[in-house]
Amino acid sequence: MTDSNAADDNWLIDEDEDELPASGLGAPDQRLWRVLIVDDDVDVHAVTRLALRNVSFKGRELELFSAYSGREAFDILRDTPDIALVLLDVVMETDDAGLILARRIREELHNAIVRVVLRTGQPGQAPEQRVIIEYDINDYKAKTELTTQKLFTTVISALRAYESLNMLERSRIGLGKILAGATNLYQIHSLREFASGVLNQVSAILDVGSDGVLCLMQGDTGVTTVVAATGHYSTLNEEELMPTGHPLWPTIAKAFAEKKSQFEHPANVLFIHTQENREVAISVTPPWPLAQIQRDLLEVFCQRIAAAFDNLYMFGQLRKAQEATVVALADLAEFRDKGTGGHVRRVQLLSSSLAQRLHERGAYPDEVTPQLLEMIGLASILHDVGKVATPDHILLKPGIHTPEERSEMQQHAAVGKTILERAANMVDGVSYLTYGAQIAGGHHEHWDGNGYPNQLKERAIPIAARIVAVVDVFDSLLHERPYKEPWPHTEAVNYIKERAGKQFDPEVVAALLDMIERDPTVGRTPE
């Protein structure tokens, strides 16, 4: 080829590349088919680019990449996602560089869906039958037979096969995410956390980013609540109701009105109706129209979400029933000992705060679990529920108890534990009643083993009981009881401090002192 012709070829390359968008993407809803040309002959690149310059498939144009050696091509394939087709020369830096690259694509990059078309100028160098059998390539062409029309046919066939394989792979991954996502959604208790989880799962299935809004309508009220919003729509989290002036509102309103999903690019709204008469709209705005397989996957996911919403509602009702049971039991004990009403509420708040402070200090990470942090406050109000079995003349006695009366009084710990354990065993898993039983039975045990009813020692005493033991005594000292006047705050703090390592867990006492240092009003009753 003459220098003049070479210059013409270079001109073809430059002109074609100038026409490509700098970002590698067309309009927001138009992705390009990525094709990699691998050949050590610059003329082949020029001719291939010229032949394919106006080719499009399903309304999407080609984005052409060039590599001049097997090593360079490997780097491009490794670093560039979604290459659909490789037009690959056999002989480059070595006689079998193309064959080596074909094998590395499958074995090292684990890319099974990119289509590989082998082009060779020396058919005898790599016999077609042996190459087709031994290498995972999709077509074998001699360069001399690749006219513009045949190259067009080869490229379109390869892109069609790539699209089918890509959809199958996305379907497989999407179904896997649906199964994993449905499992995760059942484990989330808070409605807002649940809704955020739904949006994250939907964006993962779509693989288009995290912009989304989840709205909830109760019955046919017409009131549309924003439950969660992510990505560019996260500012909607500050809104209670979906603004009717928002760009997404018309499509969301249409989904609620027609009670079906809407796919009106760029706004896509998934509609979900639950058995508990809730209607949910999930709006996402991917940068390109959703393929039918993505729509189908999302419809499957919506069915799982509807079931999860209903289960979440039932879980919430069960949780409320459980909390009501705990409060009723505490009220029953309080009914006989009216002077402790404020005490149990203060114990509830301080126990929860003290457990949180222990967590922040990194103390007992195997015991101070998220479940404990969530439940200890409410469970702590049951610490003296066993007093329902204590006779009035002992429970309400204004003076000091005799040894016999004290022994009778101490039985309330074992009674409370028995009552609450029996109730807790009727419910699977850990509940407020579980922690309540631990607290009722253990909050009079001492760190040094000299407490009651079982003389448990140190960490043999449940952490919930060790926390409430400190809080119960601290609050009792600070407030008037039938048998005593309130202590000054400083004296109460000193008493707790002196009993650390004897009656109380020293780590729990340290956490309480830490709280008091930060806020000297801890434990005081507001004026």
What residues act catalytically? 387
> Which parts of 230-369 fold into alpha helices (H)?
249-258, 292-336, 341-361
Letter string b/e over residues 375-394, b meaning 16 or more CB atoms within 10 A of that residue's CB: bbbbbbbbbbbbbbbbeeeb
Determine the Cα–Cα distance for residues 152 and 263; give it in Å rounded to an integer: 33
Q: How far does Cα 461 stand from its chain's mean position?
A: 34
> Which parts of 19-96 fold into alpha helices (H)?
42-52, 70-79
Nearest to 377 by CA among 439, 335, 428, 318: 439
- Answer whether 208's CB lies under 8 Å from 218's CB: no
Determine the Cα–Cα distance for residues 508 and 452; give it in Å rounded to an integer: 19
Residue 147: HSE in the Cβ half-sphere, 13 Å Cα cutoff? 2
Determine the Cα–Cα distance for residues 384 and 386; give it in Å rounded to an integer: 5
> Which parts of 89-143 fold into alpha helices (H)?
97-107, 128-134
Extract the tokens encoding 200. Answer: 């994250």
- Answer whether 194's CB lies under 8 Å from 312's CB: yes
Residue 107: HSE in the Cβ half-sphere, 13 Å Cα cutoff? 8
